[in-house]
Structure formats: C-alpha cells, structure tokens
A and B are shown apart, each in its own frame.
Chain A
C-alpha cells in the first residue's frame, strides 16, 4: 500500500456513505410499495411494477440523461434546490442519492415483493381472526415472516448502489469528496493510465462483489435450515 495517493480512500468512504443512505431510503420506499404490489388487486398493478423495473433494462445513459434534466433548473430538482437558494440538485451528494434510489429500486422491490407474495393470505387471515388490526398484522406477522426478503433486498440494493457507474458519471460532475465515488474514480485512474491505483480499487470491488454474493447464499441457507 506504499506510495498510494492519500486521497484514494476518499471515494471509498463516500461510496459506503452513499450506499448506506440509499439502502436505508430504499427500504423505506420499497417496503410499502412491495407490499402493495404483492397484495393489491388493482388492474394497473403490473404497469406500476413494470415502471419500477424499467431501470433494470434501460441503459444508465438514458437514466442519467433524464435525471440530469429532472434535477436541473428546468425540472423538479431545480424547484427543490431553490428552497435553499441553489439552482440544481445535480453535482450534489443528495442528487446522487436520488439517482441511486431510482436505479436500484427494482433490486430491492423485487425480493421483498416476492417474500410478501409467498406468505399467502393465511397468516394474515389468522392474525385478523385474533383481532389484530391490519397495521398490527403487518408489523408483527408479515414483516417478520418476510425478513429474509427484506434482507436480500437490502444487500442487493447496497451492492447495486456501490456498483452504479453510468448514472453517477452523468449527474455527478466528478467532484472529489462530494460526487467522486469508487466506480468513477476507477474510471479516472484507468483513463489516465494510473493502473496501480485502479487495481487497488477495482480489486477491492471484485472482493466486495464476491463477498456479497457469497453472503446472500449463506443467508439463504441459514434461514432455510433454521426454518426446517
């Protein structure tokens, strides 16, 4: 690790912060959405599900381009930014959080929705006959039963945010300490032929990705065994 520039760890810390905040916000938004998608009988339900999943298919350039416009002075982002006298949410950490939430949404909604759907009606009907209110049944029955889905959603959301590149490249502005995260830092190092620095970060990403996938399988196994 000698001779590495000291600022090489700034993007690492920033990436972890971004992923943690995004994952927390994602769980807050995705859980009720997944619940609704799993339980609702509305005719337009699948259309909403498709919209949520869009970002899985769209190239990050499409997402980044629309976000750049939406966050800017002509979009809703500009209106929000004007509350504190700024003109745009692009080039800010908050802007990156918004981008990450949108692009990682399907990876969090999907497993949670599947977990809720797999519960079926019976546990909730049972709770209802025991006079649990729907809210109480949700908190004390559905949520604990779906916790493996929540956990895998959180892990996938965190991992996908860490791996996000295209969107951040297009709305971040590459500001050290604010919007220059690991994936864009690696891109910079490669682009400028600083391959040793690129190797340190890129190698770290490979190890991280491996750890995420392995831990997912282990979590799954452990839950399966505990329930057996």
Chain B
C-alpha cells in the first residue's frame, strides 16, 4: 500500500495526473452538453408534432395577438364569441412591441389587438394590415396603486414622496409607461421622483413589482386591478395624460378569413363592449 502510494505521488508529480484530469474535466462537461442537445432535439420533435396537430384542427379559427393588459377581457370575449358564432379565437398574449416585430416578420396572426394606436397604424402603413379595418376597441385608464402606503389621495402621496421605489412600465415600449411619465410631469413631481423610478418591461411586470411590494408605489392599468381588493389606489385624472387608445386591426393573413372578420365585428358588439367596460376600460 505504502509503496503504491508513493509511486502514485511520483506519478502525480511527474505527470501531474494532469492530462487525464484536464481531459475528463472537459469530456464530462461535453457529455452533459450532448445530453442537453439530445433533450433539445426531443423537445423540438414534440413541438413539431403538436403544431401539426393544431394545424389540422377545425377551420373556423382565428389567431389573435392580444396586448398583455387586455388578457382577462379578451378571454371572456373569446368565450362569448365561441358561444355566439361557433368560431374559435385562439389568443396569444404578449407585448405589443414584440407582436409588431413578429407581424413584420410573417407571424401567423390574423388579428392584432394592440396596447396603443401607433403600432396598428404602422402595420397598416407597412402593408401588413387591412386598411379601413382599424378601430379603437378600448381606452386604457392609469391608476396609482400601492400595497404599502396610502395613495387614495394619489397626487398628494406623489408630492410627499414617502417611498423608496415607484414602478412604471418601460416608457419607450409601453404606452402606460409613457402616460405615467406624462402624468408625473403634469403634477410637477417627475424631477423629484425620477431617481426612484424602476421600470417593468411591460405593464404586467410593473404590476408584479407592486404586487410583491418590491416597489411601494406603481402606475398600473385599471384593468389589472379588476378583482383586486388589496392596497389603495388613485385613478389618475384623464386630463393629466393623453388617452391611451388601444386599437385593433385585421391583419393581411386574416383578410379573407371568416372567423377573423367575425371576431372584429363581435368586438364592436354591445356584448363585448360591456365586458370591456366591466374590466375598467373606457370606450370610444
């Protein structure tokens, strides 16, 4: 034993056992990478299978790209739409900016419900949407919301500034973020509050920041607070910011599609408008 050990030590000193150690360090890691690649291939194969299954589903179907803030009302409207017409509206939720980029790159959406007016218009101008199909389906309302301090008198709370962080949506990408800055400027508190601003990537993430109380205060959408009783809120007066008009448009991929045209028509019906209003949006 003793002899063996000494030889081993000499081996280690002479060769440092190094080559083997180095090789295995990388080889074992590579082996793991191999497993990951195989896993990825499996996942891709499964995804392909699911897509082909989905494609073979019934014909009366429209794919609707829905701005994240409109998630809940859209679900309810889609359910009513199915009851009334038998058509199915498949809803895809996400950020309007990302949707717009995808639409300009041939995304398979037939209808686009944006969180703003600029992107549907750009889609029409760029030839990705049907001219004349554009209309305002909802007007977003901005709310100051907090689960930490009392913001029932929101303007006073913002002026007092007794909080560490205030969350807004990314003003470059989300209209609710731009409106929040506009409102703070109108109240002359923006310069004082700017160092406390944290940005959520979307209005949904902004809600999350306030909901988890990581930020004491935040500007969120009234529609997000439907069904929420926690915390205190202040509806930002409409004269402090330009209306957040949310426009819908029929995309080129849905130009001659019965279900897509029917969905947009249904969105204008009193029934759908009732849902939209119930969730805290204004109407055109």
Contact = CB atoms under 8 A, between A and B. Distances in A.
A46 interface: no
Interface in B193-233: 197-201, 205, 208-209, 212-216
Contact of A169 (B2, B25, B201, B214): B201
Interface string B71-104: 0000000000000000000000001011001000
A73 B213 contact: yes
B23 interface: yes
Interface in A63-103: 65, 68-69, 71-74, 86-88, 90-91
Contact of A123 (B12, B98, B173, B201): B12
B216 A87 contact: yes
B268 to A, nearest CB: 30
A223 B165 contact: no
A174 interface: yes
B22 A122 contact: no
Contacts of B2: 129
A41 interface: no
B27 to A, nearest CB: 8
B170 interface: yes
A170 B205 contact: yes
Interface residues on B, range: 35 or more
B274 interface: no
A114 B209 contact: no
A72 to B, nearest CB: 4
B266 to A, nearest CB: 31
B5 interface: yes
A126 B16 contact: no
Q: Which of A87, A127, A144, A169: most chain B Cβ within 10 A?
A: A87
By secondary structure, the B interface counts as: helix
Contacts of A126: 5-6, 8-10, 12
Contact of A149 (B16, B25, B205): B25
Given A68-B214, A127-B9, A191-B173, A174 B19 contact: no
Nearest to A86: B164
Contacts of A144: 16
B21 A149 contact: yes
A88 B18 CA distance: 46
Interface residues on A, range: 35 or more
B67 interface: no
B53 interface: no
B169 to A, nearest CB: 10
A54 to B, nearest CB: 14
B69 to A, nearest CB: 16
Given A87-B213, A90-B209, A145-B12, 15 more contacts: A65-B208, A88-B165, A88-B214, A118-B25, A120-B17, A126-B5, A126-B10, A149-B22, A173-B165, A173-B198, A173-B200, A175-B199, A191-B172, A224-B23, A227-B22
Interface of B: 2, 5-6, 8-12, 15-26, 28-29, 32, 36, 95, 97-98, 101, 164-165, 167, 170, 172-173, 197-201, 205, 208-209, 212-216
22 contacts: A73-B213, A74-B212, A87-B213, A87-B214, A91-B165, A110-B29, A115-B25, A118-B17, A123-B8, A125-B9, A126-B8, A126-B10, A146-B21, A152-B29, A173-B198, A173-B199, A174-B199, A175-B198, A191-B172, A192-B173, A224-B22, A224-B23
Interface of A: 56, 65, 68-69, 71-74, 86-88, 90-91, 110-111, 114-115, 117-120, 122-123, 125-130, 141, 144-146, 148-149, 152, 169-170, 173-175, 187-188, 190-192, 220, 223-224, 226-228
